[in-house]
Amino acid sequence: MITSLGERHLLLRHHEHGHGHDHGHGDLIETKTRGSRRIKVVKRVLDANDITAGRNRELFACKKVFVLNMMSSPGSGKTTTLEKTLARLMPEMKAAVIVGDICTTNDADRLASSGAPVVQINTDQFGGDCHLAAHVIEKALDGIDLDAIDLLIVENIGNLVCPAEFDIGEDKRVVVLSVTEGEDKPAKYPLMFRVCDAALINKTDLLPYLDYDLKAAEETIARINPGMSVFKISAKTEDGFDAWLDWLKDQVRVKLG
């Protein structure tokens, strides 16, 4: 996933306009055929998003903030996982949260009880979107004192398709899935599992009551993203949280030193 992101950024730099390269609009190659002119464009459609994401990433680097993009399907237990994660992290780390939801502030209200500053984004103010785009994060940053935090967690919209496509300037990406969903979820949403660095398989406390094939899910993830860290957790009992939190703290430490 790091590779594919890297590839995208290379492409972006190559085609970015207005930054002093002499190719700027030199990419325009015109061929004339009968009755029409063909103009070479070669531009990523999400160029504007990637440029904003790059700007966010530079700001986070400058302010020494580690940013985690948390994605999942609806109902996977992402907010509970985040609540418990914050409760355990906050004593040693200063964190803030950006929560994306199409409507309601329920998640923000729950998360605020952790003591972490929470910025709620309702995407219907931004066009009823299905993901958080980089410019939405940029805007939400107005409400967060980046100098006062080490860790910013973005709780993305519950959706396994669109958020995978939009870089927001994060350092790492985590996908939460739960054992009450099908074990074939990773195979159905390969891009999400390809672009994420870690997967949290949640609600393991329910395994005795379900026919969920945990091994099959893990094998599928390993085929899609062999380097992915997979943590089996229960946000209810906090079973498996030590390994997940150690991973997260390590990632923050690697960036912030």
Partner 1 sequence: MHEMGIALEVIRIAGESIPAEHAGARIERINLKVGKLAAVVADSLLFCFQVASKDTPAEGAELVIEQIPVKLYCRDCGRQWTVEEPVFVCNGCGSAQVEMISGRELDIDTIELVDEDSDDNQPG
**Interface with partner 1 includes 112 (CB under 8 A)?**
no
**Interface with partner 1 includes 215 (CB under 8 A)?**
no
**Interface with partner 1 includes 44 (CB under 8 A)?**
yes
Pick the closer one to partner 1 by CB: 39 or 210.
39
**End-to-end alpha-carbon separation of the chain, Å?**
23
Of 156, 81, 87, the closest CA to residue 116 belongs to 87
- If you search the block for the tokens 């464009």, which residue do you land on? 41
**Interface with partner 1 includes 36 (CB under 8 A)?**
yes
- Smallest gap from Cβ 129 to partner 1, in A, equals 6
**Interface with partner 1 includes 107 (CB under 8 A)?**
no
Transcribe 83-139 into DSSP letters: HHHHHHHTTTS-EEEEEEESS-SHHHHHHHTTTS-EEEEEGGGGTS-SS--HHHHHH
Give the separation between CA 245 and CA 251, rounded to whole angstroms.
10
- Smallest gap from Cβ 255 to partner 1, in A, equals 23
For the window 77-106, what string marks contact with partner 1 as x by the rule CB under 8 A? ------------------------------
Q: Figure out which of the listed residues 18, 19, 20, 32 binds partner 1, where binding follows CB under 8 A.
A: 32
What DSSP character marks residue 216? H
Which one of the spans 24-32, 70-78, 84-92, 146-154 is the region binding partner 1 (CB under 8 A)?
A: 24-32
Give the separation between CA 180 and CA 73, rounded to whole angstroms.
11
- Smallest gap from Cβ 223 to partner 1, in A, equals 5
- Smallest gap from Cβ 59 to partner 1, in A, equals 23
Type of residue at 228 = M
Query: Hey, is 181 helix, strand or coil?
Result: coil
Which one of the spans 25-33, 70-78, 80-88, 168-176 is the region binding partner 1 (CB under 8 A)?
A: 25-33
- Smallest gap from Cβ 133 to partner 1, in A, equals 8
Which one of the spans 69-77, 126-134, 230-238, 239-247 is the region binding partner 1 (CB under 8 A)?
A: 126-134
What b/e sequence results for 77-94 when a residue is b if at least 16 CB atoms lie within 10 Å of its CB, and e otherwise? bbbbbbbbbbebbeeebe
Dihedral of the alpha carbons of 177, 183, 187, 189, in degrees to the nearest 10: -30
Give the separation between CA 25 and CA 98, rounded to whole angstroms.
37
**Interface with partner 1 includes 230 (CB under 8 A)?**
no
**Interface with partner 1 includes 48 (CB under 8 A)?**
yes
Give the separation between CA 169 and CA 23, rounded to whole angstroms.
26
Give the separation between CA 150 and CA 159, rounded to whole angstroms.
27
**Interface with partner 1 includes 226 (CB under 8 A)?**
yes
**Interface with partner 1 includes 139 (CB under 8 A)?**
no
- If you search the block for the tokens 């590779």, which residue do you land on? 3
Residues contributing to the site for partner 1 (CB under 8 A): 3-4, 7-8, 28, 30, 32, 34-48, 127, 129-131, 133, 159, 161-162, 164-165, 187, 190-191, 193-194, 222-227
